[in-house]
Amino acid sequence: MGASEKITLLGRAAVVEGLPENPAVKAVLAWKPEALVDARFDREELTLTIAPEEIRAAAATVQAAGYNFFEDMTAVDWLPSTPRFQLSYHLLSHGFKDRLRLRVLVDGESPSVESITDVWPSANFYEREVFDLFGIRFDGHPNLRRIMMPDDWEGNPLRKDYPVEGYR
Amino acid sequence: MTETIGTPILQAPAAEGARDQHMVINLGPQHPSMHGVLRLVAEIDGEIIVRLYPEIGYLHTGIEKTCEAKFYQQVVPLTDRLDYLGPLSNNLCYCLAVERLLGLEIPEKAEWIRVLLAELTRLNSHLIWLGTHAMDIGALTVFLYCFREREEILRIFEGLSGQRMMTSYFRIGGLAMDPPLDFFDRVQGFIKGFPEKIDQYSNLLTGNPIFRSRLKGVGYLSAADAIALGVTGPPMRASGVDFDQRRDRPYSGYEKFQFKVPISTDGDCWARYEVRLIEMRESVKIIQQALDGMPEGPIKADAPKIVLPEREKMKTQMESLIHHFKIVSEGFAVPAGEVYQGIESPRGQMGYYVVSDGTAKPWRVHFRNPSFATLQALEAMCKGRMLADLVAVVGSIDIVLGEIDR
């Protein structure tokens, strides 16, 4: 907890300028600068927004840059704003002792992104969970089935248009 | 909308190069060694496991969805229900996440008590793991001894919060109330005799030839597989990956404590057993340091719009009464943003992802629970091994179904 806690960088240009030595920023810029759509550094957390079609390649890029551990992946439903869904990938580097969030924005109409299970096999259950509870498809996933809800369940419970209580 | 329905193994029983004698058996969801409602579908060749498929979701209660309809402070009791063997770890992780969203500073004494209780929770959880793991292997005595000590920890929790398991003692901005007067003495009394108790368990198990041969070389997981499959906590460190968030990404003041992180490179069930036993000894050291250096001061942050006022003040001061009414009836607004807070729970890396849209209710709360990811590695650990080893492996990864299914 030092002075670095106070720094907030909003927007791609600010992050690229403010954190030029960050290994993830460096790796993504060296690989494909146009894939980095947006970025922010807020509350000591770096978020890189990646173009949806590039997420698998971006994951492989930051993995090679030292972010070796896939920790968590989930979605956020931003209904009624567009694009509707946000996917947040939380990655950890054992070497840098640092975290990174990759963020992808997906449209609400038949949402789908590429699976990252061949980069990190541990994403398997997490992608199934998001598929089950949000209805986002992951292309190339080896076993895209519901994981929490029964197989014949209708609807995706964590979507914002799915009621919390009462009759549907 | 789901295209693939049913368990894949049941639909296509013949694996690559399978012979006629392959059989599919089902363990659980009601099975004494499955630690809850875990269902495992195993394809076996004689007694050798060829494929293994975990089916989960039997305990899914939609806690993440429920959180979106509650005020921030009302989520704390829900987090208890996730990992019900380490409730204070869940409370801690959630409170730290929301405190970071709010930018709230916590008094030192509250941080130290949090560390003390988080370690006591670790002892509590490891005691249950040791007891049930040994019982699965057939050493029933250890189970009774472990529960004897666990009872003492639960009594301390009860004196502290009024609850044995669902404590909800950590609140956003500090602690629920001052610990009772005899709290520190009771903890001191407990940990004074505890290292001897660990020796006692070790005497019963470490030299036990049956226990040894059931665990040694069983359920091997390499370091690369542990990382690839998302395994964290003691199973990861038993595979030789040296990472502990308490040391490497300290939170809640852990940087002020001295402790070792046990590592083994064997990667089998026995290594996991040894790593956890040493972890228990290290936890005792942390608790002792916390007791010795416990600072004086308040246990709640000075933020009247977020932290509930003292009962006494509420009854005598108009201002406090208004704050109390406001917090209870309409909550408090949290600045928009997103935070991922990771802690080292007894089972591994726990991470809570809280997204705020600037209102009094969280827009999205996601729980990254260690058991959920660890379960993915079960097939890698059991493949090509005897069916009977499955029970030892499931015991050694120490899963809690409450946090898997959420």
CA distances from B373 to A62, A152, A163, B93, B233 (A): 21, 24, 28, 18, 11
Across all residues in chain B, what is the average pLDDT?
87
When mean pLDDT is compared across B16-20, B109-113, B317-321, the lowest value belongs to B16-20
Which residues of chain A make contact with B349, given a CB cutoff of 8 A?
71, 92
Contact B339 A45 (CB under 8 A): yes
Q: For residue B19, name the pLDDT band (cuts at 50, 70, 90).
A: low
Phi/psi at B60 (5° precision): -70, 125
pLDDT in tens, A39-95: 888 888 889 999 988 899 999 999 998 899 999 999 999 888 888 899 999 999 988
Structure tokens, B222:
């390499």
3-state SS class at B60: coil
- What ipTM was predicted for this assembly? 0.90
Residue A2 has pLDDT above 50, yes or no: no
pLDDT value at residue A28: 85
Beta-carbon count within 10 A of A131 CB: 24
Residues of A in contact with B351 (CB under 8 A): 71-72, 90
Cis before B29? omega within 30: yes
Determine phi and psi for B191, rounding to 5 degrees: -75, -15
Cβ of residue B1 closer than 8 Å to a chain A Cβ? yes
Q: Which of residues 217-236 of B touch A (CB under 8 A)?
A: 227-230
Whether residue B278 is predicted with pLDDT greater than 90 in this model: the reply is yes
List pLDDT tens digits, range B31-79. Answer: 777 777 888 888 888 888 888 888 888 888 889 988 888 899 999 999 9
Mean pLDDT score across all residues of chain A: 86
Please enumerate in sequence order all residues whose Cβ is within 8 A of that of A73, keeping only pairs 6 or more positions apart, or say none.
A87, A88, A89, A90, A123, A126, A127, A130
For A135, B75, B166, B327, the CA distances from A78, given in Å and listed in that order, are: 14, 21, 32, 26
What band does B273 get if pLDDT is binned at 50, 70 and 90?
very high
**CATH-assigned architecture of domain B63-405:** Orthogonal Bundle (1.10)
CB atoms within 10 A of CB B95: 28
Does residue B334 register a pLDDT over 70?
A: yes
Q: What does the H/E/C string look like for A14-36?
A: HHHHHCCCCHHHHHHHHHCHHHE
Averaged over B267-281, what is the pLDDT?
Answer: 91
Which of left, alpha, beta for B398 (phi over 0: left; psi -120 to 50: alpha)?
left
Where do runs of H (alpha helix) occur along B28-173? Answer: 63-67, 76-80, 87-102, 108-137, 140-161
Provide the pLDDT for residue B154: 92
How would residue B3 be classed by pLDDT, with cut points 50, 70 and 90?
very low
Average pLDDT over residues B348-366: 91
* B63 and B82 Cβ atoms separated by less than 8 Å: yes
d(CA B330, CA B353): 23
Answer yes or no: are the C-beta atoms of B340 and A72 closer than 8 Å. yes
Of B6-20, B144-158, B294-308, least confident by mean pLDDT is B6-20
How far apart are the C-alpha atoms of B73 and B102, rounded to whole Å?
A: 13
The closest alpha carbon to B216, from B268, B138, B264, B265, belongs to B268
pLDDT band of residue A1 (cuts 50, 70, 90) is very low
Please state, in angstroms and as integers, the Cα–Cα distance from residue B40 to each residue in A126, B32, B231, B305, B384, following that order: 19, 13, 18, 48, 16
* Interface touch B68/A164, C-beta < 8 Å: yes
Q: Which two tokens stand for residue B402?
A: 């409450």
Helix (H) or strand (E) holding A112: strand A112-114
d(C-alpha B34, C-alpha B52), whole Å: 14
* Residue pair B82/B367 in contact by the 8 Å Cβ criterion: yes
Residues 244-263 of B with CB under 8 A from A: 248-249
Task: Give Cα B199 to chain centroid, integer Å.
Answer: 24
Chain A nearest CA to B356, separation (Å)? 11
Shortest CA gap B254–chain A (Å)? 12
Q: Which residues of B372-383 are buried (b: 16+ CB within 10 A; e: fewer)?
A: bbbbbbbbbbbe
- CA-based Rg of chain B, rounded to a whole angstrom? 22
For B268-316, give the DSSP string: SHHHHHHHHHHHHHHHHHHHHHHHHT---S-SB-S-TTTSPPPHHHHHH
Q: Residue B368: which H helix or E strand, with range?
A: strand B364-368
Q: Is the pLDDT of residue B2 over 60?
A: no
Query: Chain B contacts of A141, Cβ < 8 Å?
Result: none
Task: Write down the pLDDT at residue B113.
Answer: 92
Q: Is A55 helix (H, G, I), strand (E, B) or coil?
A: helix
What are the residue boundaries of the structural domains of chain B, listed by start?
A: 8-55, 63-405
- Residues from chain B contacting residue A135 (CB–CB below 8 Å): 1
- A109 Cα to chain B: minimum distance (Å): 14
Closest-CA distance, B213 to chain A, in angstroms, reads 30
pLDDT score recorded for residue B52? 87
Q: What is the pLDDT of residue B157?
A: 92
The verdict on B363 touching A (C-beta cutoff 8 Å) is yes
pLDDT bracket for residue A4 (50, 70, 90): very low
- Name the residue among A22, A118, A128 with its Cα closest to residue A73: A128
Q: Which residues of A touch B (CB under 8 A)?
A: 42-43, 45, 47, 68-72, 74, 76-77, 88, 90, 92, 94, 97, 99, 101, 120-122, 124-126, 133, 135, 143-152, 154, 157-158, 162, 164-165
Angle CA A111–A112–A118, to nearest 5: 160
Domains of chain A from N-terminus onward: 4-112 (3.30.460.80)
**pLDDT greater at residue B139 or residue B92:** B92
Q: Residue B303 pLDDT > 90, yes or no?
A: no
> What does the pLDDT look like over B186-229, one tens digit per residue?
999 999 989 999 998 998 888 888 889 888 888 888 999 999 99
Gyration radius of chain A over CA positions:
17
